[in-house]
Amino acid sequence: MIDAVSSLSPSVGAPAAVGGVGTAAVRPGAASATVDAGADFGAMVSQLASHAAGVVRNAENISVAGIQGSATVQQVVEAVMSAEQTLQGAVAIRDKVVAAYLELSRMQI
Amino acid sequence: MYDPLQATMRVGASGLEAQSRRLRVIAENMANAHSTGRTPGSDPYARRVITFESQLDETADANLVRVASVEQPRASFRVEHMPGHPAADANGFVRMPNVDLVVEAADMREANRSYEANLQAIRQAREMITMTLDLLRTT
């Protein structure tokens, strides 16, 4: 059972790794973020979170540029929408995996 | 592999930008529909035309659109009889810009429709992404 849950994480962690966002600056405390996906549950969650944080930060930068007039409305909307989707995806996956672990902890021993 | 739905949104965004640039050129043409020269015999404002071309986006593996050029097509200026105008020649004729407001209005309408179409593509892609993510939420 545990293997089945853990095997979910490589496929989940892979898209976050593809994004190639600098994770160190976003989450200094999470040194395990550089551990390859699927190593453990905490690393996977922190990788998801840091990738989402990076995308949101990019959206913030472009939004500020848009207010200053150096980015177009379309660029701002595109960046913010991309951040919104990344966040939604990360939250949905986190909820799913956390629910699976909770399910395990409720098992009758 | 790049997410095709994300690529769709990127393509749509490039379309939005291209159409907004087109609208800018149209607005310039309309605003300068009566911009003449200052001296007798000088050229008035010449109408501009925007052209687009496709551009391959390597990371998304998709064809974006971008502005290829903003050109001034060769067209004769019409003349109006306005004696006393600074740009009037000896016979009192002033060369006026070759801007036809009806043509520009039609072009503007087309730019608007094209913008809407691109917006719709983005909206559709976003909806499909959200629908797919919803699979995770509801058990």
Contact state of B136 with A96 under an 8 Å Cβ cutoff = yes
Distance of CA A33 to the CA centre of its chain: 11
Q: Is the pLDDT of residue A76 over 80?
A: yes
Q: Which amino acid type is present at position B64?
A: L
Residue written as token pair 């690529």: B7
Q: Which amino acid type is present at position A107?
A: M
pLDDT digit string, tens, across residues A7-65: 444 444 444 433 334 333 434 444 444 545 456 878 877 888 888 889 899 999 999 99
Measured distance CA(A64)–CA(A32) in Å, rounded: 31
What pLDDT score does A36 carry? 57
Mean of the pLDDT values across residues B123-130?
Answer: 93
Mean of the pLDDT values across residues A60-88?
Answer: 89
Q: Is the pLDDT of residue A5 over 50?
A: no
What is the Cβ-side half-sphere exposure of residue A102, based on CA atoms within 13 angstroms?
6
pLDDT digit string, tens, across residues B13-50: 999 999 999 999 999 999 999 999 888 878 899 999 99
Do A58 and A28 form a contact (C-beta atoms < 8 A)? no
Residue written as token pair 């959206």: A59
Contact state of A81 with B133 under an 8 Å Cβ cutoff = no
Q: The complex's ipTM?
A: 0.71
Q: Which ranges of chain A does DSSP label H, i.e. alpha helix?
A: 2-6, 8-19, 41-68, 73-105
* Closest CB to A92 among B6, B126, B137: B137
* Closest CB to B133 among A74, A82, A88: A88
> What distance, in Å, lies between the first and last C-alpha atoms of chain B?
28
Q: What is the dihedral of CA A23, A24, A30, A36, to 10 degrees?
A: 60
Measured distance CA(B31)–CA(B23) in Å, rounded: 12
Biggest alpha carbon distance in chain B?
Answer: 84
Contact state of B10 with A74 under an 8 Å Cβ cutoff = no
What pLDDT score does A13 carry? 41
Residues of A in contact with B17 (CB under 8 A): 72, 74-75
Around Cβ A19, how many Cβ atoms within 10 Å? 14
C-alpha to C-alpha distances, B135 to A4, A71, A81, B79, nearest whole angstrom: 19, 34, 20, 66
Q: Give percent above pLDDT 90 in chain B.
A: 61
- Number of residue pairs across A and B with CB atoms under 8 Å? 31
Tell how strand B93-96 and strand B49-57 pair up. Answer: unpaired
A60-84 core/surface letters (b: 16 or more CB in 10 A; e: else) = eebbeebeeeebbebbbbbbbbbbb
* Model confidence, pTM: 0.72
* Closest CB to A74 among B20, B133, B137: B20
DSSP classification of residue B40: T
Q: Is the pLDDT of residue A4 over 90?
A: no
Measured distance CA(B66)–CA(A88) in Å, rounded: 30
Paired strand residues for B86:
none
Residues of B with CB under 8 A from a CB of A: 6, 9-10, 13, 16-17, 20, 122, 126, 129-130, 133, 136-137
